[in-house]
Structure 1
Amino acid sequence: MSTYITPIVMPKWGLEMREGTVQDWLVAEGERIEVGQPLLDVDTDKISNAVEATDAGLLRRIVAQSGDTLPVKALLGVLADSEVSDAEIEAYIAAYEVPAAGDDEEDSGPAFDYVDVGGIRVRYARRGPEQGTPVLFIHGFGGDLNNWLFNLDAIAAKHPVIALDLPAHGQSQAALPGASVDALADFVRGFLEAAHVNGPVHVVGHSMGGAIAMQMAVSAPAQVASLALVSPAGFDSEINSGYTDGFVQAQSRRELKPVLEQLFADPELVSRQMIDDLLKFKRMDGIEPLLAELAGTLFKDGRQSAILADRLAGVDKPVLVLWGKDDRVIPSAQAARAPAGAQVILFDATGHMAMLEKASEVNAALLRHLAGG
């Protein structure tokens, strides 16, 4: 009868997640569950998120309790039809074993790869099938490829996925090929060549990464199959210089925390681990001067210096624009400057990090966009 029992397990969000802490269950035992329904909130060392149902069924047993810290794939709860007995469910729970790391194909390869691009060492990750047009994810100023931790696996289920740490970001080398959007776009194109990514790619860019994506489409349209832009820079000149300057200048948790809170509609999403990770990154040799150089070029005098929206209008590519209505870094009103024919989606109660705050909605929109819908 165990074939009628479906486990709810701790998901793996991102390439580095090893465990999560259960917060609150959003459903009760005896409730009928639908696919995609939020079941419980889980905290990771990066950010909190809701675990969504991947299967429909009757929630017969909640196994993990609030406060439990459990490894990826640990049993959280059990779905089973009403005819399955309590004894069978108890036996299933007692026999359940967390799969060991490496048991699944997804764990068989290295989480990250490195490649040299013009003398700069770059960290990147590749996931998904080998066939198909790759989807390239480009993060924003001060970020890294982990900004996409809720998105990469969802898109990689159907498409080849590649995400990089831009130079002077994440675990890529503390060096810049230049501080302009044009120089960064040329660098990303060089990265694709060095990583043996041939042919056009779908480009997904967030914030500064959105401006880089647009510049790639303008300067090398044959290399870009489509654009998906999340709170992109490059649509208009206004930007919150209090955020960009504050990020560069912050030297302590006390200084950085209120800066990071500007990224989210819900400031509670800024965890102590997030603050510590970014402080550690900023304290790496050579990073702060390079961030200051980037900010000084891209956001000179508190304004965006590279405005690409008008130039994008001449590029015949599918464009998806996603923006949080409560974005306090780049105003969502700039979405009105999207090119004619672009699909624009604005999210309620969402700030600058829609891919984290509204992950399932963003993933669904991306998959429709990539499928040509």
Structure 2
Amino acid sequence: MTVALPPADELAVAGRRVRCRIAGEGPPVVLLHGIGRTLEDFTALHAALARDHRVLGVDLPGHGGSAPLDAPHTLPVLATAVAGFLDAAGVTGPVHLVGNSLGGAVAMRLAADQPARVASLVLVNSAGFGREVTVALRVLAVRPIARLLLRPHPALARRTERAIFFDPIYVTEERIATALAAARQPHAARVMLELVRSLGTWRGVRPEWRAELLAAVAALDLPTLLVWGDRDLILPASHLTNARTRLPGARHHLFPDTGHMPQIERAAEFEALVRRFWSESGAAGPA
């Protein structure tokens, strides 16, 4: 049974339902969430940036209220789907990509594959910079355990939300309900397993796709901001050191006492940081 998610817009992309939220006028900004998540992870930032940008939040294929794809869900396929979403939304020029966790890797893949579409990258606790990842994702590569862990259950949803944030005040009943609604979509477990197994094993994130992707992004010399929370339990803050090595031209910022989603735990500071990056790097982009 499909469970309702918070209200949002819908677009048809190649005949497939895409749940999205589009607001504001100005340079286009695209917000990309993490694995198993939804566009609600950017609600506050979306509203703040929409004062002077055209902001497009989207549920990635098979996530939240967006229909799954016919092909297996992999990083390149998700990046291509985001490009299709932009076409359907009438966005033809370069965009600012802001990606959290898996969304950061999707943003990098899109930039590497279609560089003319990207004005800048903001990579927030992004996948792709190290092997280490929370054991909760690694064990999904083990089939008998995976099915048990992916059963929608309030206790599991609460535990996941608690791991995401350093400050438990952000583990709200609303966020838990949204996570449960997303997990109860009939295709959610399949999509999650396809992604996890394409990106890693029980040992951690595969090095092959990371090495190729980071080399491709480094060669682009795009304005890039790397952001992390120092108490991230999903992708450790040591990945920021790796990221600075692989993308030496990027700016970087480490938020103290912050978990996997600085855009929520440090909302005002995060917005200011991103706006300053766009201004000082000359990545304002076209209106």
TM-score by length of 2: 0.85
Q: Does 1:349 align with 2:257?
A: yes
Q: Percent identity?
A: 34
Structure 1 position 250, deviation (Å): 4.4
Higher helix share: 2
2:81 paired with 1:173: no
Given that 2:64 and 2:181 are in contact with CA atoms closer than 8 Å, whether structure 1 keeps it comes out as: no
Residues 177 and 187, structure 1, Cα contact 8 Å, conserved in 2: no
- Report the CA distance shift for 1:266/1:250 in structure 2 as closer, same or farther (over 3 A): farther
Q: In structure 1, what is the Cα distance between the partners aligned to 2:118 and 2:125?
A: 19
Of 318, 324, 349, 2:229 maps to 324
Report if aligned partners of 2:18, 2:65 keep a CA contact under 8 Å in 1: yes
Q: Distance in 2 between matches of 1:252 and 1:271?
A: 16
* Distance of 2:264 and 2:173 partners within structure 1: 17
Give the unaligned 5+ runs of structure 1: 1-15, 17-110
| Paired letter, 2:15 | G
1:289: Cα distance to partner? 1.8
Residue matched to 1:300 = 201
Distance 2:41 2:231 in 1: 18
Q: Which amino acid aligns with 2:215?
A: D
Establish whether residue 365 from structure 1 lines up as the match of residue 270 from structure 2: no
Find the structure with the greater CA-based Rg: 1
> Is 2:10 aligned against 1:114?
yes
Moved over 4 A (4+): none
Which residue type is aligned with residue 202 of structure 1? H
* Structure 1 counterpart of 2:157, from 233, 241, 256: 256
Shift of 1:276: 2.7
Write the distance in 1 (CA, Å) between the matches of 2:116 and 2:280.
Answer: 18
Look up the match of 1:149.
Answer: 43
Q: SS where residue 172 of structure 1 aligns?
A: coil
Give 1:248 shift: 5.1
Deviations 1:71-124 (A, max 9, x none): xxxxxxxxxxxxxxxxxxxxxxxxxxxxxxxxxxxxxxxx74322223321011
What amino acid sits opposite 1:240 in the alignment? T
Structure 1 residue 256: Cα displacement = 2.8
> Cα offset for 1:243?
4.6
Shift in alpha-carbon separation, 1:119–1:241, aligned structure 2, 3 A: farther
Which residue in the other structure is 2:3 paired with?
Answer: none
Secondary structure of the corresponding residue to residue 183 of structure 1: helix
> How far apart, CA to CA, are the structure 1 residues paired with 2:232 and 2:179?
20
Instruction: List gaps (5 residues or longer) in structure 2.
Output: 1-5, 141-145, 282-287
With CA pairs under 8 Å and 6+ residues apart, which has the higher RCO, 1 or 2?
Answer: 2
Contact 1:248 1:288 in 2 (8 A): no
Q: CA deviation at 1:202?
A: 0.8
Question: Residues 22-37 of structure 1 correspond to what in structure 2 (within 5 A)?
Answer: none
The one-letter code sitting in structure 2 at the alignment partner of 1:266 is D
For 2:216, the equivalent position in structure 1 comes to: 311
Structure 2 Cα separation of the partners of residues 281 and 113 of structure 1: 16
- What is residue 183 of structure 1 aligned with on the other side? 77
Cα RMSD over matched residues? 2.0
Q: Which residues of 2 match residues 12-91 of structure 1 at below 5 A?
A: none
- Check the 8 A contact 1:117/1:191 in 2, yes or no: yes
Return the alpha-carbon distance in structure 2 between the equivalents of residues 300 and 118 of structure 1.
32
- CA offsets 1:204-254 (integer angstroms, 9 cap, x no match): 101000000011111111110000010000112221132564895243222
1:197 aligns to 2:102 (yes or no): no
